[in-house]
Amino acid sequence: MSDIDNTNEYLLEVFIIETSQLLEQLEGLLLGSEKEGKLQSYAIEETFRIMHTIKGSAAMMSLDNISRVSHVVEDLFDFARNNPNRDYSDIYNVVLSSIDFIKYEVSKLENKAPADGNPSGLIEEISKLLNAYTQSNDDASSDNQSGKNESYLKVETTAQISDEGATRYHAKVFFEEGCGMENLRAFAIVYSLKDVCDELYHRPADIADNSDSAEYIIKNGFEMYFRTDKSEEEVAKLLENSLFVESFTLNIVESYEDEVSNKPNPDGTEGKEESKKQDHQELEMSGLACSLQPSYINVDIKKLDRLLDLVGEIIIAESAVTKHPALKDLKNLDLDKSVERLARLISELQDSVMSIRTVPLSSTLSKMQRIVRDMAKKLSKEAELVIQGGDTEVDKNIVANISETLIHIVRNSMDHGIEPPAVRAEKGKSEKGTITISAGYDGGEVFITVTDDGAGLDKQKIIDKAQKSGIYQSLGKSPTDRDIYGLIMHPGFSTKKEISEYSGRGVGMDVVKTNVEKVGGRIFIESTKDKGMTVFIKIPLTLAIIDGINISVAETVFTIPSGSIREFFKIRDINIISDNDGNEMTVIRDKCYPILRLSSYFDLKSNLSDADEQIVVLAEMDDRHICLVGDAFLGEQQVVVKSLPYYLVQYGINELGISGCSILGNGAISLILDVKEIMDKFL
């Protein structure tokens, strides 16, 4: 492949990444504006700039259809910029359709296919809307245009700052030579500052004009006056972390009213190089000089997968060395210190690699906002989506797998759960339904719950349908509510008589279960009729190091996470009592705890003839306790958690309380117990 081909491939990759990020940002911005009921000026400005950027990038890549769509949307928002005080409630559908079109074209590029979609119909629709706006606008000349010729433009800010804690700053920023689109780089800085300032002015005023304002910024720098309660170090850090910033000056000033008054812009032709040198000298004297390179690089996910595998192998190899029988009775202080340091460094390496691979769930969860919005309109319902724990970080591969899962669940809640406004009013509910997605950590796993306050599940209806289809008998004689509700995830199961765009074909929730199980996760459902439904998902981390206690049962080794262990006993040290049903219990310090013999629970034959030698582990989770009985205590060890193979998950091994597995130092396999799942099954 030639250098030109490599360059084109790299540029295409950058275009795909940047455009995808811009579209996600724009979609969230528009959905937020629609929810607020008004297209705010900052949303208009940002939409204009995003479309301006995409248009230029697409034109550079000769992607004519994307460039044309971006251009007409840019024209639409250019009109909105000049006429901000009118109703734009009918603008969202067409702009979101434009985003969908560009996303689809970008997805073609990702799959090495030509972006050959026909945008003519979409362009015609946008043009008609713009013509309607233009014809209905009696005063075509807008006062906003005059602001472009002012030396400084005042920005709408969101922070409220008291006079006592306020500091006024003057900043001038220079971008890296040849970075391109300097005006948009300047806008990004303004956007990050406006949330921490109660006053903000910048020059040049019109940073939307790529030719004029970008050229001015290259020669003179991007200048700002602003007031904030942030310290000088905090402001400097913000500027320093902005993309493509080569250097900047930052000074505290007493006032800037005279500077930001509407004086003509300087012609920018004299003394600029000398001014730039002086700015660099001020930077060096203040200790705030910065010479920055891009703060991120793109890495093939396969390389990260390989790195992750290597870290796991290093941990296993380290365990094999440190647990080697030859070192068991060796007493050497220097060796012990070296082993301890090695273990610490490997742990830090594992944490670093995991942090590289993990991404916050917010990017996936925010996509659900669009689904709720579109379905609410099509189904004539009112609903809002609440997201909690969006900063929860999950392995990138898991995010890719659960994205489709969450889409199915949210669609199911909108279609089956949330009732029409009139029906909700009859039930005494708010006319607007609520779907809440929560995420967080539970031990070595990630949990995600999707809750709606809709109609809930009709248990009897599910039972009747299951009996007719012959699958109810598989639940046994005394199925729990969880078992019954789980039937809706059976392939082909649907209680809806009519087939719609979203449901009725028996496809959806079975896909959800399959996708969750593929990554070694578990899913179950709880519901109350007319109150709502909650879907619980627990997904193990693909690789993690946990501190665990290894115990043996027959020839099998189990690892119990140290965080769930309260204390140990020999079985001879406790008094065992049994009830009429044969359930065993023991009393420890005046409290009664249930006993579960792991040999019986997993149908394993214990090697011990003398029960007095067995070990009892008192485990604790969520204020619940259980005594787990095994054959022998093997010691404490850090283990690498790996997901169970899919073929084992298909047979429900994880539902028995096995959350993963690990390879021990001697090469043996250890099964990692999920204490919470065991409690849910046994107690």
The residue that leads in pLDDT, 144 or 93, is 93
- What are phi and psi for residue 329, nearest 5 degrees? -100, 10
Q: How far is 550 from 635, CA to CA, in rounded Å?
A: 6
Our separate counts of H helices and E strands in the chain read 21, 23
Put simply, whether the predicted model's pTM sits higher than 0.95 gets the answer: no
Q: What is the CATH number of domain 543-682?
A: 2.30.30.40
479-492 confidence digits (pLDDT tens): 888 888 888 888 77
Q: How far is 595 from 614, CA to CA, in rounded Å?
A: 13
584-588 β-sheet, strand order = 565-570, 615-621, 624-630, 591-597, 584-588, 576-578
Mean pLDDT of the chain: 80
Q: How far is 383 from 418, CA to CA, in rounded Å?
A: 8
Structure tokens at 360: 């916050």
Q: 3-141 adopts what CATH topology?
A: Four Helix Bundle (Hemerythrin (Met), subunit A) (1.20.120)
599-610 confidence digits (pLDDT tens): 888 888 876 655
- Confidence band, pLDDT 50/70/90 cuts, at residue 3: very low
Around Cβ 268, how many Cβ atoms within 10 Å?
12
At 655, the amino acid letter reads E
Per-residue pLDDT, 344 = 84
Structure tokens at 598: 């792991």
Which SS3 state, helix, strand or coil, does residue 669 take? strand
In what helix (H) or strand (E) does residue 401 lie, and over which residues does it extend? helix 396-412
- Specify the pairing of strand 222-228 against strand 358-360: unpaired
The secondary structure of the chain in percent helix, strand, coil, rounded to multiples of 5, reads: 45, 25, 30
Cβ contacts of residue 359 below 8 Å, gap of 6+? 393, 394, 396, 399
Around Cβ 425, how many Cβ atoms within 10 Å?
12
Q: How far is 21 from 13, CA to CA, in rounded Å?
A: 12
Q: 301-358 adopts what CATH topology?
A: Helix Hairpins (1.10.287)
In eight-state DSSP terms, residue 137 is -
- What are phi and psi for residue 471, nearest 5 degrees? -100, -10
The residue that leads in pLDDT, 641 or 279, is 641
- Confidence band, pLDDT 50/70/90 cuts, at residue 443: low
364-403 confidence digits (pLDDT tens): 887 888 889 889 988 999 999 998 988 888 777 777 778 8
**Portions of the chain given CATH number 3.30.70.1110:** 147-286
Q: How far is 414 from 334, CA to CA, in rounded Å?
A: 63
Q: How far is 315 from 353, CA to CA, in rounded Å?
A: 13
Q: Rounded to whole angstroms, what are the CA distances from 256 to 150, 169, 265, 489, 587?
A: 15, 9, 16, 64, 76
Q: Among 73-82, 469-478, 644-653, where is mean pLDDT lowest?
A: 644-653
At 177, the amino acid letter reads E
Q: Please check the confidence at residue 667 and state whether its pLDDT lies above 90.
A: no
- What are phi and psi for residue 126, nearest 5 degrees? -65, -40
Q: Please check the confidence at residue 208 and state whether its pLDDT lies above 80.
A: no
Average pLDDT of the residues in 208-231:
83
Burial 307-339, CB ≥16 within 10 A → b, else e: bbeebbebbbebbeebeeeeeeeeeeeeeeeee
Cis peptide before 204 (omega within 30 of 0): yes
Per-residue pLDDT, 370 = 86
Residue 535 region, left (φ>0) first, then alpha (ψ -120 to 50), else beta? beta
First vs last C-alpha separation in the chain: 64
- Confidence band, pLDDT 50/70/90 cuts, at residue 8: low
> Which residue carries 């903000």 as its tokens?
200
Q: How far is 665 from 668, CA to CA, in rounded Å?
A: 7
522-528 β-sheet, strand order = 383-388, 433-442, 445-452, 532-540, 522-528
Q: How far is 182 from 533, CA to CA, in rounded Å?
A: 50
H helix runs in 142-266, sequence order: 182-193, 212-220, 232-240, 257-260
Cβ(626)–Cβ(683) below 8 Å: yes
In 3D, which of 463, 456, 459, 447 has the Cα closest to residue 523?
447
Q: How far is 505 from 559, CA to CA, in rounded Å?
A: 43
Q: How far is 288 from 519, CA to CA, in rounded Å?
A: 47
In 3D, which of 611, 30, 14, 8 has the Cα closest to residue 366?
30
Q: Rounded to whole angstroms, what are the CA distances from 14 to 17, 20, 111?
A: 5, 10, 15
Cβ(676)–Cβ(621) below 8 Å: yes
Q: Please check the confidence at residue 451 and state whether its pLDDT lies above 60.
A: yes
> Which residues on neighbouring strands pair with residue 630, listed in sequence order?
615
293-316 confidence digits (pLDDT tens): 344 566 777 787 788 778 877 877
**Portions of the chain given CATH number 2.30.30.40:** 543-682
Average pLDDT of the residues in 251-261:
87
Q: Which long-range contacts (CB under 8 A, 24 or more apart) does 160-163 make?
A: 160/198, 161/197, 161/198, 161/227, 161/228, 161/229, 162/229
Around Cβ 98, how many Cβ atoms within 10 Å?
25
Torsion on CA atoms 268, 273, 278, 281, rounded to nearest 10: 140
Please tell me the number of Cα atoms within 13 Å of 662 on its side-chain side.
32
**Portions of the chain given CATH number 1.20.120.160:** 3-141
Per-residue pLDDT, 493 = 74
In 3D, which of 247, 254, 259 has the Cα closest to residue 203?
259
Among 109-118, 150-159, 271-280, 651-660, the range of highest mean pLDDT = 109-118
Per-residue pLDDT, 622 = 66
CATH 3.30.565.10 fits 361-540, yes or no: yes
CATH 3.30.70.1110 fits 147-286, yes or no: yes
Q: Rounded to whole angstroms, what are the CA distances from 59 to 35, 68, 70, 363, 675?
A: 33, 9, 10, 27, 57
Torsion on CA atoms 296, 302, 303, 306, rounded to nearest 10: 140
Per-residue pLDDT, 541 = 62
- Specify the pairing of strand 433-442 against strand 383-388: parallel
**Portions of the chain given CATH number 1.10.287.560:** 301-358
Q: Rounded to whole angstroms, what are the CA distances from 527 to 150, 494, 517, 530, 626?
A: 61, 16, 21, 9, 27
Around Cβ 123, how many Cβ atoms within 10 Å?
18
Q: Evaluate the CA torsion angle 222, 223, 227, 230 in order and state its sign.
A: positive
Cβ(123)–Cβ(69) below 8 Å: yes
In eight-state DSSP terms, residue 119 is -
